[in-house]
Amino acid sequence: MPPKAKFTKQEIVDAALSLIRERGTDALTARNLGQQLGSSSRPIFTLYQSMAQLQADVIDAAYALYHDYIARETATGLYPPYKASGMAYIRFAVEETSLFELLFMRKRTQEEIAVGICDPVIIERILQANAITREQAEQLYLEMWICVHGIATMLATSYFTMEWDRISEILTDTYQALREKIQKKGGHA
């Protein structure tokens, strides 16, 4: 009979998220996580066969937190839904810097990358707000995402600071310019 689990998977994942928040992504090791739990690393491997399995659950949990940011930002009604998702991405980078790094700034050379980076929910938001084709919406999304990711990364790494009103203005200006260019060309911006 296998040993009884000392912790639940959720407790281990929550401890891993706390560890990452406190000490950064490189701190997620079995030894450090055991210390975070007030234990050895052995109980972790009662529920997980490898650190890779644990890291996958931690990444899923971090994505859930990120999606909560999007839902909360959208629910405020301060911005149109598509813009709210961009503002949430930037807010997540500022408020959850280590989790942002885990999700959006880690090396992907060993991971299988999904074809296309476009979020289908966000593409639908763009299509609902504009008279453009799906291909044009995907192009708009890609170019806006590059802008949003750039701002988020610069804020997360303390490259500069910026007021939320100014961030909002930059996103609006960029969105409007890209949309106008796409609509005029009838193709790529």
Alpha-carbon separation of residue 116 from 78, 123, 153, 180 (angstroms): 29, 12, 21, 23
Q: Which of 88, 106, 178 has the alpha carbon at shortest distance from 141?
A: 178
Question: Do the beta carbons of residue 172 and residue 122 sit within 8 Å?
Answer: no
For helices 134-156 and 97-104, the axis angle rounded to 10 degrees is: 140
CA distance linking residue 111 with residue 104, whole number of Å? 13
Q: What is the pLDDT of residue 117?
A: 63
Q: Which two tokens stand for residue 34?
A: 């055991």
> How large is the C-alpha radius of gyration of the chain?
20
CA–CA–CA angle 64, 67, 73 (5° rounding): 145
- The full DSSP string for 88-130 is HHHHHHHHSHHHHHHHHSS--TTSPPPS----HHHHHHHHHHS
- Predicted TM-score (pTM) of this structure: 0.88
pLDDT in tens, the chain (189 residues): 556 778 999 999 999 999 999 999 999 999 999 999 999 999 899 999 999 999 999 999 999 999 999 999 999 999 998 899 999 999 999 999 999 999 999 887 666 555 456 788 889 889 988 889 999 999 999 999 999 999 999 999 999 999 999 999 999 999 999 999 998 886 444
